[in-house]
Structure 1
Amino acid sequence: MEVTESPELQSLVFSLFLSMYLVTILGNLLIILVVSSDTHLHTPMYFFLSNLSFIDICLSTTTIPKILRNVQAQNQSISYTGCLTQVCFVLAFATLDSCLLSVMAYDRYVAICHPLRYMVIMNPHLCGLLILLSLFISIMDALLHSLMVLRLSFCTDLEIPLFFCEIVQLTKLACSDTLINNILIYFASSIFGGIPVCGIIFSYFQIVSSVLRMPTLGGKFKAFSTCGSHLAVVSLFYGTAFGVYFSSSLTNSSRITAVVSMMYTIFPQMMNPFIYSLRNRDMKGALRTLISI
């Protein structure tokens, strides 16, 4: 894995990754603590938010500790088993993140378009079922890709131009035929990435249509304000994810690709707690209550 080619920058890189990791862990743990401690936040929306925070912690933990260890040891290597394990977990948590963002968009759709039936539709049974379904899809997707990588053969002295092991870059380095793997990657990306995106777009199309029919300006503002944080998180997650694949296909610079990969696996997870705590009045109130105890 490529961390840095410049030894004098290693201490700076280590400090940067460590600080970002600590902010990510502490911020998301604080979200989970606030939601669990305040009974006013025991609603489907915040149930999904606490799950998103937990997934963000897991996704960051899959990549950053290994990067810190490599920088500290001045050794950029990773074993084949470790690389394959990292591929599996990154795929699982990234897919789960995508599915959960789609579920949260559906939650906002029900809250705004069917407010009187919100608690009936988004009952605890359905919320738990949506989480379990997302988890099942994510695990199946990750295992399928990981098992397909096992059929590939690799040459020696490989260098991955990213901060972590990623399925597309790993497949490019294989010495054997990768046609089936590439077909599977694009097919799975279309299904497990396309369907959540389409679900989010459909949900917000219905939300906008419903909000525009509201008679008062205050009602419109309140409805849109409940979606602002989610829209910001969605834009950050998918924007950085698409940036990774566009940069890897449009540029041959490993340094640019590595920087974009960091934005994809670290930056959204670090920013999510700030987005929800700064833009959400209920979260800010619950946070002040928790701090004053």
Structure 2
Amino acid sequence: MKLRWLLVAFACFTAATASPALASKKYGKQVRYAGIHPISKGEGGGICHIEGPHVHIYPANKLEYRVYADNNVFVGDPVAYGWDGPKYAYKGNHPIQVNAIVDVGAEPFVHYCYIDGPHFHYFEPEGQPDFKVVGDAYFYVGEPAPAYIEARPAYVAINATYRPLVYTRPVIEVEPPSGWIGARVDLFPVAIEASAPVVVAPRPRPAVVTGGVNVDVHIPVPTISVGVGVGVGGGVIVHDRGRGRGKFKGKKWKRH
């Protein structure tokens, strides 16, 4: 009997400690997550409420997640996917102290959110003095690290992802504080395109095309000549279009 229980315990231990390769063959590739996040639409959608490290068998997209200690941490707006827990309003890009929102025993690290307009997160920027609260919303007024500028081209497309989503966004109608990152022209220069010079071609002359040969037609301006005849000597005979003949003798016209 004792041997039987030992065999059962050994079998359970073996199943629990099976290699990821065996688990992947049965359930698919496992992906590590930490903190709450949206559930893939293929898996039913909604929100996963597990706060600690865990795994799923669907991938995390690169725009809404950041990798921290081999875990995918959601840095998007959870309200867009049905989150009804605590939420905090932000406006514009800002840093995220990921070690403050998920505890995985790793060194502190800063990632960035690249959502331009008003949005929510399920966490506050605790311990970060470079935020100002205006109108119940957080505005980042600090100096971002060079990593923020370098990574922006890869992550700014998140705005195109959220634009068509229909959900209740925070309404922020206050003036941003001085130094707000969204008003920094040195970080987001305005590109001015120079207009190309306009070349006006001369109006082409009319052409007649015959048999595949271009022939220029020049129409001269008609010239009107007025001649004044002075009769000297003999007269001139004039025909009146067949109605009769006439003869001019001297200064008198005589009809036949």
Q: TM-score range by the shorter chain?
A: under 0.3
TM-score, normalised relative to structure 2: 0.23
Structure scoring higher RCO (CA < 8 A, sep ≥ 6) equals 1
Query: Which structure's residues are more often strand, by fraction?
Result: 2
TM-score, normalised relative to structure 1: 0.21
Computing the radius of gyration from Cα coordinates, the structure with the larger value is 2
